[in-house]
């Protein structure tokens, strides 16, 4: 997977999401920016041919084929041949999977891989008892600090890397133990990859950044969000600002939690409206 694949892959990936499907059900994974940034982790490779697909490896080690065609339109023998050396096709959304013939296909999904979906309204106001703690954290941050916000551009990559380094130090993470390599590349290639976001400063010191990607009308996925925990409330503030500053944003996707307890607690604390299953498909 290289940047040269972008022009070829992006139209094929976008075509997988018909206009009649609810945009908020769009999954976070099968987009070029994500495939490219995590190409080393997943060993993504483009397979050209009559039935084009992207081959790779999931976090659980399973070999997967992301189909760039409609599975329903291919014969079972041709699909079986294509699947050689792989464990399943996917990920498909539940809506995509529901259209498959149950006599031909077997469907499976895992909780750890599900995307977290939130109404942008959650972050705009943090209304209600369930989000009261987030609202109070934002108030505490504003009471203690004046937060300056600037739209992210690649010229700010140096400041954002300072935040990333501080975040890793606070988490006691070494290079390669988290998503730092992909994040650094995203900071350097944000414009090329269609990522937009903001850098946050306190007293001219960078304290946080977010990078998001629009994946459907009114829907964005939060690709990277890093903040310095010393500035309590920085995360709910960053998410709030991103939603307020993005016209027409109705839904925010926080991707999966990978089964990691800290990720799960944090993502659940923002009260998702839904968990979007990522379906793997095998043949009967």
| Sequence-distant contacts of 188-194: CB under 8 A, at least 24 apart | 188/154, 188/157, 189/3, 189/154, 190/152, 190/153, 190/154, 191/153, 191/154, 192/3, 192/6, 193/32, 193/33, 193/36, 193/37, 194/33
Q: Which of 46, 75, 110 is the last residue of a domain?
A: 110
User: Within this chain, do residues 95 and 194 fall inside the same structural domain, yes or no?
Assistant: no
User: Within this chain, do residues 181 and 124 fall inside the same structural domain, yes or no?
Assistant: yes
In a domain, 98, yes or no: yes
Q: What's the Cα-to-Cα distance from 208 to each of 15, 33, 166, 232, rounded to whole Å?
A: 34, 21, 10, 11
User: Within this chain, do residues 119 and 106 fall inside the same structural domain, yes or no?
Assistant: no
In a domain, 122, yes or no: yes
User: Within this chain, do residues 93 and 198 fall inside the same structural domain, yes or no?
Assistant: no
In a domain, 275, yes or no: no
**Domain of residue 205, CATH code:** 3.40.630.30
User: Within this chain, do residues 119 and 251 fall inside the same structural domain, yes or no?
Assistant: yes
In a domain, 196, yes or no: yes
What is the residue range of 97's domain?
A: 3-110
Helix (H, G, I), strand (E, B) or coil at 274: strand
User: Within this chain, do residues 98 and 182 fall inside the same structural domain, yes or no?
Assistant: no
Q: Which of 79, 94, 110 is the last residue of a domain?
A: 110
222 — phi, psi (to 5°)? -80, 100
Task: Tell me which H or E stretch contains 91.
Answer: strand 88-92
User: Within this chain, do residues 119 and 134 fall inside the same structural domain, yes or no?
Assistant: yes
**Domain of residue 20, CATH code:** 3.40.630
In a domain, 281, yes or no: no
Q: What pLDDT sits at residue 245?
A: 96
Q: Name the H helices within 171-252.
A: 180-193, 234-244
Q: Round to whole Å and give the CA distance between 63 and 269.
A: 32
User: Within this chain, do residues 106 and 119 fall inside the same structural domain, yes or no?
Assistant: no
Q: What pLDDT sits at residue 18?
A: 82
Q: Round to whole Å and give the CA distance between 234 and 140.
A: 10
Each residue's pLDDT expressed in tens, for the chain with a length of 284 residues: 899 999 999 999 999 888 788 999 999 999 999 999 999 999 999 999 999 999 999 999 999 999 999 999 999 999 999 999 999 999 999 999 999 999 999 999 999 999 999 999 999 999 999 999 999 999 999 999 999 999 999 999 999 999 999 999 999 999 988 999 999 999 999 999 999 999 999 999 999 999 999 999 999 999 999 999 999 999 999 999 999 999 999 999 999 999 999 999 999 999 999 999 999 999 99
User: Within this chain, do residues 73 and 125 fall inside the same structural domain, yes or no?
Assistant: no
Q: What's the Cα-to-Cα distance from 194 to each of 143, 213, 223, 233, rounded to whole Å?
A: 34, 6, 11, 27
Structural domain count, the chain: 2
In a domain, 69, yes or no: yes
Q: What pLDDT sits at residue 135?
A: 96
Which tokens go with 37? 């940034």
User: Within this chain, do residues 100 and 47 fall inside the same structural domain, yes or no?
Assistant: yes
In a domain, 261, yes or no: no
Q: Which residues of 64-82 are buried (b: 16+ CB within 10 A; e: fewer)?
A: bbbbbbebeebeeeebeeb
User: Within this chain, do residues 106 and 196 fall inside the same structural domain, yes or no?
Assistant: no
Write the CB contacts of 218 (distance below 8 Å, at least 6 apart in sequence).
23, 24, 248, 249, 250, 251
Q: Which of 88, 110, 132 is the last residue of a domain?
A: 110
Q: Is the Cβ–Cβ distance between 127 and 229 less than 8 Å?
A: no
In a domain, 95, yes or no: yes
User: Within this chain, do residues 121 and 211 fall inside the same structural domain, yes or no?
Assistant: yes
């Amino acid at each position: 997977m290289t940047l040269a694949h972008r022009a070829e892959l992006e139209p094929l990936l976008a075509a997988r999401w018909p206009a009649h499907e609810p945009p908020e059900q769009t999954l976070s994974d099968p987009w070029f920016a994500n495939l490219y940034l995590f190409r080393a982790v997943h060993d993504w490779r483009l397979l050209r041919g009559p039935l084009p697909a992207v081959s790779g490896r999931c976090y659980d080690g399973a070999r997967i084929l992301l189909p760039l065609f409609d599975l329903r339109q291919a014969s079972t023998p041709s699909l079986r041949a294509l699947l050689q050396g792989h464990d399943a096709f996917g990920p498909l959304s539940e809506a995509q999977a529901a259209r498959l013939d149950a006599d031909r296909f077997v469907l499976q999904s895992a909780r750890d891989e599900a995307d977290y979906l939130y109404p942008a309204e959650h972050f705009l106001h943090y209304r209600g008892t369930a989000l009261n703690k987030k609202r109070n954290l934002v108030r505490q941050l504003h009471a203690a600090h004046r937060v300056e916000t600037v739209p992210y551009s690649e010229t700010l990559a140096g400041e954002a890397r300072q935040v990333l380094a501080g975040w890793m130090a606070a988490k006691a993470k070494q290079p390669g133990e988290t998503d730092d390599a992909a994040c650094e590349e995203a900071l350097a290639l944000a414009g090329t990859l269609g990522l937009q976001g903001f850098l946050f400063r306190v007293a001219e010191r960078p304290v946080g950044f977010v990078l998001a990607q629009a994946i459907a009308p009114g829907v964005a996925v939060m690709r990277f969000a890093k903040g310095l925990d010393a500035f309590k409330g920085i995360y709910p503030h960053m998410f709030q600002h991103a939603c307020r500053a993005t016209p027409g944003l109705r839904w925010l996707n926080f991707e999966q939690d990978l089964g990691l307890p800290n990720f799960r607690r944090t993502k659940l604390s923002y009260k998702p409206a839904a968990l979007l299953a990522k379906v793997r498909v095998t043949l009967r």
